[in-house]
Structure 1
Amino acid sequence: MTRILFWLGLVFLVMFAIRSKLQGGRPPQPRRAAPPDEGAAGGGAARQGGRRAAAAEIETMLCCAHCGVYYPASETVAAGGRDYCSAAHARLPAA
């Protein structure tokens, strides 16, 4: 019985290693549902348009001059020629 469990465990580990290697060592990514306007018709063009829209949504990240936290550029509070993550940090002296 011990030998059977050993071989089953070994087979499981080998299969897990192969699967992990095929995925490039990355954890599996969750699949997102297609937006309702992308139907079966125009699949290739619609997918590329979706990628372009997703790339347009990517925003530049800035580093707070006080705490060092990265935050979206649209939320910046500029004071004294520096960028801060909040108005409270803009009032404090820079670190």
Structure 2
Amino acid sequence: MAKFVVVALVVGLVLWLMFGRRGRAGSPSPTPRRRGPEDMITCAHCGVHLPRSEALVAAGRAYCSEAHRDAGPRVDG
């Protein structure tokens, strides 16, 4: 009988630690929800596609990184 009480207490403690702390001030906030689909654009230097919010824009052209923005648009030839 004593074993059953100890096992029940341990299971109860584990469940309380897993689920009992939700909603308290110290708990992490829930993950933010994603917004709807985002426009994809092409880097003017390398041609990679990336979300508009992550692009760096210079002189009306979008780039995927500072290095490509500094290098400028790709010149074919």
Ranked by relative contact order (alpha carbons within 8 Å, sequence separation 6 or more), the top structure is 2
- TM-score (structure 1 length as normaliser): 0.40
**Which is helix-richer, 1 or 2?**
1
Tell me which structure has the larger Cα radius of gyration: 2
